[in-house]
Each structure stands twice: as C-alpha cells, then as structure tokens.
Amino acid sequence: MAEKKKLFMQGNEACAEGALYAGCRFYAGYPITPSTEIAEYLSRTLPRVGGKFIQMEDEIASISAIAGASLAGLKSMTATSGPGFSLKQEGLGYACMAEIPCVIVDVMRGGPSTGYPTGPSQSDVMQAKWGTHGDHPVIAVTPAYVQEILHETVRAFNLSEKYRTPVLILFDEIVGHMREPVMLPEEGELEVIDREKPTCPPEEYLPYDAGYEIPPLAAFGEGYRFHVTGLNHKDDGFPTNDPEMIQEGIKRIIRKIDNNKEDIWKNEEHYIDGAEVVVFAYGSTARSAKYAVRELRKKGVKAGLLRALTLWPFPDEALKDACQKARAVVVPELNLGQIVYEVERLVDCHVEGIYRVDGEPINPMQIMEAMEKYS
Amino acid sequence: MSTAAAVKKPKISVPFDYSKYLRKGKLPHIWCPGCGHGIVLKSLLRAIEKSGLSKDDICMVSGIGCSSRTPGYVDFNTLHTLHGRALSYATGVKLAKPEMKVIVVTGDGDALAIGGNHFIHTCRRNIDMTILVYSNAIYGMTGGQFSPTTPSGSYSTTSRYGNIEPVFDCCELAKASGATFVARGTAYHVQELERIILESLKHKGTSVVEILDSCPVYYGRLNKMKSASQMMELIEKNGTVSVKQVDKLPPEKVQGKLLRGILHKEDRPEYCEEYQKLIDRVSGK
C-alpha cells in the first residue's frame, strides 16, 4: 500500500482532489473569484487521469455541459461563486427535475451583485435552497476545514450518485483560500458510490419509474435510447399535462430526499449534552464558534456547539435535540440573518443572530460575548 | 391516350419508411397545420438513413421552442433542455462520449438570441456536431414575437408597427465564428435539404445548417400571407438562390436573396480529437 500523502494545500485545491477521488471525470467551468483555483487545478489533473476539463463561455453553459456529460455517464462537477451561482440557478432546477447527478460548488463571496469578490460571505445559503424556481429537492454540504472540504466533496458526489440529484457544496472565501495540511486518502479508504444503472432490457426501461424510490439511470449511447426533458414528465420521461402525474412527479423528487434525511444529515457536536447556551453554526463561522465554546467551558459556562455539515435538508432533529436544555441559541452568520429563521422555526428558547457583511470573519470574541449573556 | 409518357414504364420507388426512426406512440406532433418542421424532420430522417448511423449512436439535443420538440418524436438518445442552452448540453454529451453523433435541433430564437453566446463559442471550438437551425423568423411557441431573423419591417406580436431591427445572417455568423461546415437549405427544396444534411452529418467538426422554414400561423397571419402554400412560394420564388446558379444569374435576380447550398467547408482540428491528443500527451504524468 502506498504511503499516505500529506500535503499543504488550499481549500479549493482540496475540493478538486476530492472530486478526483470520487471519480469525477468531467468539469466545466467559468473563471470567477474566489473559486477559480478549482478549475485551474482540474484543468491540470483531469486529463492526466483521462478526464475532461472544458472552460465554457459562461456559468450557464458550464452547468448545462456538466448535466449533458453526466447523462452520457461521467461524474461531473462545476464550481463558481455568487454571481455565477445566480446564473446557474435555471440549470440547477433542470438537473433537479430531470434527476441528473452532478456537483455544484459555490465558494461564497460578498454580495449582492459583484459585491466583494475577495471577501468571504455566507449569503448564498438561502439562494441554495430557494434560488431556482419551482418546488425542488436540495442537498447542500457545508465544510469548514480544508481536509473536510476534500471529504465532503467525496460525500457530495456519493449523495448525488445515490439520490440521482444535484448536490451543492457551499464554503466561503476564507476556507477556499486557506492553506492547511491535508492527508490524501488512499484508494479504498473512503467510500465511493456510483449511480445505479438499469439491468432491464432497453425496451422495458423507464428512466423515471415511480416503482423505484430512486430510478436507475442509463447513460446515453448504451442502447437505452431514453428521453430527458425539463417539462413535467411521466415515468417514461415524456411530457405530460396530467394533473395527477405532474403533482406526483414533483412530490417524488422531493420525497426521495425527505425519506432519506437520516442518511444525508451530518452534524458535529461539541459539549452539547446539557448545554445551556448553544451556538448553531456552519462553514468557516463554525471555526470561531468552536473556539468560543472551548473558552466558555474553561470559564464554567455550559456552552455547546452544533455544527451542520449538511445544511440542506436542514438538521431539524439534531437542532431540537441540542436545544433541549438551552436557554438560548446563538446563530453566527456571514450574512444579515438567513439560517437564523430556520432555527427560530424549530426551537422554543431565545434565538440571537450575530451577523457580519463587511468582508471580515466573525471572530470568537463576538460569539463569546453573545453567549455569555445567557449563561 | 397514347402519349409517350403513358407508355413509358412507370418508375417504382419504394416509399421511405419513416416509422423506423419515429416514436409512434408520441405522435401526433404538436406542430400546427402548414408548419414546415415536419418536412424538415423527414429530410433529416432520410439523410440519417443514408448516413448509415445507428439509432443508438445518435444523441439529439434541443432547447426550447417548436423545433426543439423534435427529439420527443424520434427514437434516438434524446435530450430536451433549457431555452438557448442546447449547445452547452450537447457539448457535455459529446465530450463525455465522442463516439456518439450529436445532432442539435434548434430554432432562430433559441440558437441566435438567448443561445447566441453558446452558438458562437461552439462554432469557435469546432466540436463535432450537426446544428440544424430551423429558422422560421418568429417565436412560434410563445405566440409570434419577432426573432433575430425576422425581416426588418415585418410584423409580429411585439413589432406591431413593423420590426425596426436588422436581422442576423445565421450562416455568416456561423462562418465568422469558426464553424467548418456552413450551409443553408429550405423546407421547400426538400431533396436538396436531405443532401445538405447528409453532408453535414458526414463532416467532422461543427456543422451549421440554417433551414428556412415557415410559420403560417403566426408569421404568415401577421404578414398577410393567407396560406401555408403562399409562404412556401415565398421561399421558392423570392427568398433564395442556389450557390450553383448565383454566378450565372444577373445581379438584379440575386440582390437581396439568401444563398442556398453548402456555403463554406474547411478542415480544421476538431475539439474532441484535440482533447484526446492532449490526454495522450499528459496522461500518467
């Protein structure tokens, strides 16, 4: 067995390494700060393993190309940041509707509009959930450390292949550009899931067979000759105007995620048992929150951290459990309050948000001050 | 009657069996009576038959619009995508499976307005695919708005006082952008169209075929052409001149008319082949 490789790398590079490990063999992208290093890294590494990198003419073309490549059988990814993420929304909805596995990375930067390209932000978390029109399922993972970006990118591909749906990876400029030691996983060390393919004869194949929770997906060019559309469709993939089929089709793509939340959720807890004041955090903000909780514990404050690694579907159960004995939940966010409303929806105790949109990170002191008030 | 013609042995031609390529359960199609799209589809299917391509090896990709409904009716690998983005989806399919024959079916609005950026860059890359632009000079699906190929002065539901915009010449645009096969056919000259499409399928690289088509229901009705045949007559008599005849005709018979036939053909490195060379050069390093 080859010796484990330890590297000093950037979050964006770790994301690219994770994609390669997961078996990504197609990347289409358009340069945008602060995500560009992902494209640069994969433009070098993909052809070395027989994969394809293409720099498209814009972000819309990029998400469209990865959906096309995925339907032709390749694990595919694109990466972008705020303005590009806005442009990709229609293509994201198409991939949800047509149930095309693919991974979309958003390295969040300050907005709205061109905003602060080199400054961190967490202001796309609601766009990730509601950005594309129509009711649709969303899976979004939110790593906070460079090593974790690699692992979560592999997990994003796995979820995407398993549930036949696009998966979002949301992190921000801080961790995207941060350099930390990373252990490259050995072959076989991490689970890698490939989509289920049909085994039935081509003439019997239904690409949206409601008899399955997640219908198997054939690849173009392998004899199945199926039809894919963004229109509401029947189980054979062809458009329908039948009200019952329209509604059932939409409900099914949402249900396949809802019914499997336990498998999709991933959280990290620190000192959460019996915590009287809880901080709920995700992404780079959780790094400050972790520090704050450790310091408060030293002072005797019963503080705890719940960190979401899957932000969508929202970790309802874990949050309710974490707040059983809490007097208050503090929600630090690099936006003006987005996830805080999800928290308010779920807990009975006091909820306080800490927000920042000046391009600077939320520091541990801010979180400690807020939490100490409730100790 | 005993004319020479009557005694001449009748030519027996076996009718072409389109059903081999059609998903019969998905018919009838949504196109209006008098629409030229069905004529174009038949030319395409005859060309495919002559090309010898197998149904499994063809991927037909479309965007949004009347012409973009074509993939639903044909028994290939078919992908009906977003408005304007067919070429981007097609690029992904082709790069992932370069051995497949990718045919893009798109309209004038889909290819040249909302998809204009993708159109020029696809041509520039010279990625191997056949792009059929069904150009009926109108947005049919949404009810008759002007498009980038609606002639200046024409009426549409969004140019009630006459269109003040100049038109795009799809073929000139394709050629300038780098497409290595550029041709124009019409829904009237069906045998010529079949030959042009067959040539485009044989070409390695980006092939663009603009097909002048008719929308009697919207374009015709708004521009005082009462019937589908009147629109066909316009294409036949007034609209176009074959590239084979253009040098023989006096200038006044050519002026203001669009050229028909293969307008441009060149050999240039194809994108997927170039990418494979790159992989061969760097793989394992």
Domain edges within chain A: 5-184, 269-372
pLDDT at A345 over 60: yes
Of the pLDDT bands very low, low, confident and very high (cuts 50, 70, 90), residue B1 is very low
Helix or strand or coil: residue A76? strand
Q: Count CA atoms within 13 Å of residue B128 on its CB side.
A: 22
Report the CATH fold assignment for A269-372: Rossmann fold (3.40.50)
**pLDDT, chain B, mean:** 94
How far is CA A284 from its chain centroid?
A: 14
Output the pLDDT for position A5.
84
Q: Is there a contact between B137 and B219 (Cβ–Cβ < 8 Å)?
A: yes
Question: B82, A238: Cβ pair inside 8 Å?
Answer: no
Output the pLDDT for position B91.
98
Please identify which residue in the block is written with the tokens 């915009």.
B165
Q: Which of A65, A72, A225 sits opposite B56 (nearest CB)?
A: A225
CA distance A277 to B69: 58
What residue type is assigned to position B249 of the chain?
A: L
In this structure, what is the dihedral angle of CA atoms B67, B69, B73, B79, given to the nearest 10 degrees?
110
CA distance A338 to A319: 16
Mean pLDDT, residues A2-24 taken together = 93
B112 to chain A nearest CA, in Å?
15
- Hey, what are A132's tokens? 């594309």
Q: Is there a contact between A220 and B103 (Cβ–Cβ < 8 Å)?
A: no
**pLDDT, chain A, mean:** 97
Please identify which residue in the block is written with the tokens 């909780």.
A293
Of the pLDDT bands very low, low, confident and very high (cuts 50, 70, 90), residue A375 is confident
Q: Which of B82, B117, B281 to mutate to test the interface with A (most CBs of A within 10 A)?
A: B82
**Homologous superfamily in CATH for domain A5-184:** Thiamin diphosphate (ThDP)-binding fold, Pyr/PP domains (3.40.50.970)
CA distance B193 to B54: 21
Residue ranges of E strands in A32-143 = 52-55, 76-80, 102-110, 116-120, 139-141
| pLDDT tens digits along B87-102 | 999 999 999 999 999 9
- Give the chain B residue nearest A51 (alpha carbons): B279
Work out whether strand A102-110 and strand B258-265 pair parallel, antiparallel, or are unpaired: unpaired
pLDDT at B3 over 60: no
Report the CATH fold assignment for B31-262+269-282: Rossmann fold (3.40.50)
- Hey, what are B211's tokens? 């097909």
Domain ranges of chain B: 31-262+269-282
A217 touches chain B (CB under 8 A): no
What residue type is assigned to position A29 of the chain?
A: G
Please identify which residue in the block is written with the tokens 């008759």.
B144
Q: Is there a contact between A104 and A131 (Cβ–Cβ < 8 Å)?
A: no
CA distance A134 to A130: 8
A30 touches chain B (CB under 8 A): no
| pLDDT tens digits along A189-225 | 999 999 999 999 999 999 999 999 999 999 999 999 9
Tell me what ipTM this predicted complex has: 0.97
Q: Is there a contact between B180 and B29 (Cβ–Cβ < 8 Å)?
A: no
Of A188, A197, A168, nearest to A77 by C-alpha is A168
Find the helix packing angle between A59-71 and B86-96, rounded to 10°.
Answer: 50
Question: A26, B92: Cβ pair inside 8 Å?
Answer: yes
How far is CA A355 from its chain centroid?
A: 22
Q: Is there a contact between B78 and A227 (Cβ–Cβ < 8 Å)?
A: yes
Please identify which residue in the block is written with the tokens 């997961």.
A22
Helix or strand or coil: residue B237? helix
The Cβ of residue B152 has, within 10 Å, a number of other Cβ atoms equal to 12
Question: B95, A69: Cβ pair inside 8 Å?
Answer: yes
Q: Is there a contact between A21 and A155 (Cβ–Cβ < 8 Å)?
A: no
pLDDT at A3 over 70: no
Output the pLDDT for position B235.
84
Mean pLDDT, residues A26-39 taken together = 98
| pLDDT tens digits along B175-212 | 999 999 999 999 999 999 999 999 999 999 999 999 99
| pLDDT tens digits along A276-295 | 999 999 999 999 999 999 99
pLDDT at A4 over 60: yes
Mean pLDDT, residues A250-260 taken together = 97
Chain B positions in Cβ-Cβ contact with residue A232 (cut-off 8 Å): none
- Hey, what are B256's tokens? 């203001």
Of the pLDDT bands very low, low, confident and very high (cuts 50, 70, 90), residue A364 is very high
- Hey, what are A215's tokens? 């219908």
Of the pLDDT bands very low, low, confident and very high (cuts 50, 70, 90), residue B219 is very high
Question: A91, B90: Cβ pair inside 8 Å?
Answer: no
CA distance B143 to B136: 13
pLDDT at A300 over 80: yes
| Cross-strand bridge partners of residue A106 | A80, A170
Q: Is there a contact between A152 and A143 (Cβ–Cβ < 8 Å)?
A: yes
CA distances in angstroms from A166 to A73, A95, A139, B145, listed in the order given:
15, 6, 7, 34
Q: Which of A26, A62, A90 sits opposite B95 (nearest CB)?
A: A26
**Topology alike, domains A5-184 and A269-372:** yes
